[in-house]
Structure 1
Amino acid sequence: MTSLAAGATLDFSLPQQLLVIALCALTAFVAHMALAVFNDGTRPFMLDFIQGRSTRTAATAVSFGLSAGFIFGLGAPMALSTGVLNPWLLFLPTDILGLLSPKKWLAPILGAAWGAVVVFALGGANNLAHDLPVDFLTAMQEMSTPILFLFTLFPVLAITKQFGRKWGGVAGVLELALVVLTMKVWPDMFAGALAMAAGVLMLIGLAVSQDLRQRKADLAAALTKKSDGTAEADGAGGTGGASGTGGAGEAEAAEDPMASLFSASAARLRRYLPLFMLLGAGVCVLAQMHIFGGGEATSFLIAKGHISEAAQVDFYRVFGFIPLIATTALASGAYGIAGFTLVYPIGYLMPNPVLAAVVGAAVFALEVLALSWIGKILGRLPSVRDSSEHLRNAISDSLQLAILFGSLMAANAMGGGLGILIVGGLYLLNEAMGRPVVRMAAAPAAVIVGGVLLNILYWLDLFTPIKG
């Protein structure tokens, strides 16, 4: 597999700089309007803000509390170590700035300012860090191997949690065999590509099969109940009981407050369809330029030049987030900044920015228009809906281990045993203090802090950098 360059940079062309600045301005404006936010944890709180039961200050505080750790502990370290931008670095800050802005016209200005910081200041910080005696950014590239390979196992974890150890074992053996086969037969391909494809397809197949069996069983039970009820009604000579019950059921459905809320939220989002199409076009073009990765593994794959594999990885992630994004959007009236994230893999594969803009706008339009229909479909497929939650949890579990292990490898590369002591100690201290920094972001943040400390020790003549 192609390795990252020793000095991953954040140097962008003028069109790329302008796009990042414009997109950050747009996402801040959309967040100010409470039409979309990137943080899935913030979205459920948006309904109270939209309906006036919560203040802008309170909404901003929630967004900052849920996002700060990811921005500084994951987004910035990943961008600095790979030279590829990511959504935590771009879109979580614009969530906060957009909600913070008291005026509509100020929100895009604040967003554009953050975009300028990213494309200008971050590159300077990157170059400065690479010139230090202890180059902790280059050391952080050690994270790529555990992230890429352990991430491959997320379908196995999801299958095991949802369908038991037997199916989990089958999936594990299948993925291992496919990884070994890929490394042997197609050495230029990312080894986990086929394995992840097989695992995700297996999970979806098991979930759909279970739902179909359950629907058949429910239908058979309903027919049996109906047959018994008809016989009892004929025997009693009664009429009208069934129709009366049906009328009450229809009235109850018509007055379902959740159905009414979902309908109102979907209608609110459709009113701003042109704005969402512009947002979809911008995100898709950003992905097409290959300066942006939608996830941890994707960032390293794009940095290594494995574009098709990056598209594949982000496509699989979509299955884990469609139900979450659809239901929270329908419940809150606020969509996701990246939608269902389909624009990520589509953008990676587009041949030029113009086509990416057109396709991205069309994808977002279809997503917004189909929200109500998707919500209804998910209501009929409980196992598929559960699979989504298991996928998200499995992605989180596999990445937490991969990032921790990779961070310790980076610590060893930059400082040997002392590096491991500092980075591992900071991670354990964060755990003991009740995780003021979220677990997934704690280890990369510890690498940066550890790198700074090792440089200070070098200047104090207390540490000699390890020669690579």
Structure 2
Amino acid sequence: MSTTLAAGAELDFSLAQQLTVIALCALTAFIAHMALAVFNDGVRPFLLDFIQGRTTRSATTAVSFGLSAGFIFGLGAPMALSTGVLNPWLLFLPTDILGMLSPKKWLAPILGGAWGAVVVFGLNGANNIAHDLPVDFLTAMQQMSTPILFLFTLFPVLAITKQFGRKWGGVAGVVEVALVVMTMKLWPNMFAGALAMAVGVLMLIGLAVSKDLRQRRADRASGAVEEATGDDPMASLFSASAARLRKYLPLFMLLGAGVCVLAQMHIFGGGEATSFLIAKGQYAEAAQVDFYRVFGFIPLIATTALASGAYGIAGFTLVYPIGYLMPNPFLAAVVGALVFAVEVLALSWIGKVLGKLPSVRDSSEHLRSAIGDTLQLAILFGSLMAANAMGGGLGILVVGGLYLLNESMGRPVVRMAAAPAAVIIGGVLLNVLYWLDLFTPVKG
């Protein structure tokens, strides 16, 4: 299976696609302004103080900017430019910030829509300029696709090892590698990691559910009595937050419709690996990858939403894989709205279920951590491959040096975004050296 993209990933959008992006950015900024939902999971816990009037809009905006800027400029923009596919860090993190920043309700959608216009009209110009440079660092960044796609396949193995030990981790690792080899041999046109990831995630969930069921049987046998929730203050907070979100159900249904339509248009990928799969037209594989990610984020999004009263802009992210597979945007809009309605209405029930399945809840933590670990290595390795493609040893020196400098300075740019940002800075620097007649671009 080829994991490289056609040179010069295009960011040319049709009028319908442009209007969808602008309208969705306007809507997400409006929703963020009302503190009903944000995309950044790290910002959501801070919204409770804002909703209850214990902190100011400007202070919350500062938190949102601090937690999001590195991902916007270091990951969102480079991924979009190198794949030709939009992503949530580029679209929804800025609308988090702009929505919170806006002092007036009517101004928030205008600011959000303006950002959407910058993306759809400005990004292609930047893309064309970059591809015309003597050192084409955007085409070089497509080298990142192979390590991202293949190393991402191993995230269930890491999660199983962390939660259930080396023995089960070793079993999962052997099974996944065997399945990757088998897939490459028997189904060369299919993404090699698809089947392996499916089996890995099912193994993790099976082990977690089995452990919880054994524990419940042991508790019943020993006569342990489940605690009554009674006057639990967290229970009352959770029910108040769920009620607040249900009050705005029509707005959330509109949001679900918009995100699902954007995914259906195949100009948007919900994750790093997904962006490269969408760019290659492998929509079924992209849906599979994003579907597995859902298991790592449902407990986090549900609990933070119930604790803060603010939901996720993409909900449980189920609308991503569903959208990729929808045959037309009209059906995507209906299904996306229904999915968000079910998610919001089921929040309280999901919270109660998670309370009874501690191992499953822990599995989601390990899945998220494993996704972060695999992508961190894959993005760093891919960025060094890109550096080599655009500048040989000097490229590796510059990009690797910038990454190490960021580490030694206490990571002013978050680690996940530092390497792609270093590739872009390194690419600009190599072009300057070329114009000074101090560097000859690598051939090919």
Flag whether TM exceeds 0.5 (same fold).
yes
Q: Write the distance in 2 (CA, Å) between the matches of 1:306 and 1:23.
A: 24
Q: Secondary structure at the match of 2:9?
A: coil
Q: Write the distance in 2 (CA, Å) between the matches of 1:367 and 1:84.
A: 27
Q: Which has the larger radius of gyration?
A: 1
Note the alpha carbon deviations across 1:284-338, whole angstroms, 9 max, x for none.
Answer: 0000000000000000000011110000000000000000000000000000000
State yes or no: 1:360 paired with 2:336: yes
Letter in 2 for 1:177: A
Match for residue 449 of structure 1 among 422, 425, 432 = 425
Aligned residue in 1 for 2:232: 256
State yes or no: 1:27 paired with 2:28: yes
State yes or no: 1:397 paired with 2:398: no
Aligned residue in 2 for 1:460: 436
Matches within 5 A, 1:402-417: 402-417=378-393
Q: Write the distance in 1 (CA, Å) between the matches of 2:231 and 2:416.
A: 42
Cα RMSD for the two superposed structures: 1.0
Aligned residue in 1 for 2:188: 187
Aligned residue in 2 for 1:320: 296
Matches within 5 A, 1:187-206: 187-206=188-207
Letter in 2 for 1:27: T
Q: Write the distance in 1 (CA, Å) between the matches of 2:343 and 2:154.
A: 29
Note the alpha carbon deviations across 1:148-174, whole angstroms, 9 max, x for none.
Answer: 000000000000000000000000000
Aligned residue in 1 for 2:174: 173
Q: Write the distance in 1 (CA, Å) between the matches of 2:213 and 2:231.
A: 29
Q: Write the distance in 1 (CA, Å) between the matches of 2:146 and 2:78.
A: 16
State yes or no: 1:83 paired with 2:81: no
Identity, % of aligned pairs?
88
Aligned residue in 2 for 1:12: 13
Letter in 1 for 2:372: S
Note the alpha carbon deviations across 1:63-104, whole angstroms, 9 max, x for none.
Answer: 000000000000000000000000000000000000000000
State yes or no: 1:334 paired with 2:310: yes
Letter in 1 for 2:396: I
Matches within 5 A, 1:144-183: 144-183=145-184
Q: Write the distance in 2 (CA, Å) between the matches of 1:255 and 1:186.
A: 56
Q: Write the distance in 1 (CA, Å) between the matches of 2:67 and 2:266.
A: 28
Letter in 2 for 1:111: G
Structure 1 runs of 4+ off > 6 angstroms?
A: none
Q: Write the distance in 1 (CA, Å) between the matches of 2:290 and 2:123.
A: 25
Q: Secondary structure at the match of 2:222?
A: helix
Q: Write the distance in 2 (CA, Å) between the matches of 1:428 and 1:136.
A: 20
Note the alpha carbon deviations across 1:320-377, whole angstroms, 9 max, x for none.
Answer: 0000000000000000000000000000000000000000000000000000000000
Q: Write the distance in 2 (CA, Å) between the matches of 1:317 and 1:398.
A: 13
Match for residue 299 of structure 1 among 229, 253, 275 = 275
Aligned residue in 1 for 2:73: 72
Letter in 1 for 2:191: F
Deviation at 1:254, TM superposition (A): 2.8
State yes or no: 1:428 paired with 2:404: yes
Q: Write the distance in 1 (CA, Å) between the matches of 2:283 and 2:106.
A: 37
Length-normalised TM-score, structure 1: 0.94
Q: Write the distance in 1 (CA, Å) between the matches of 2:171 and 2:127.
A: 44
Pairs aligned (count): 443
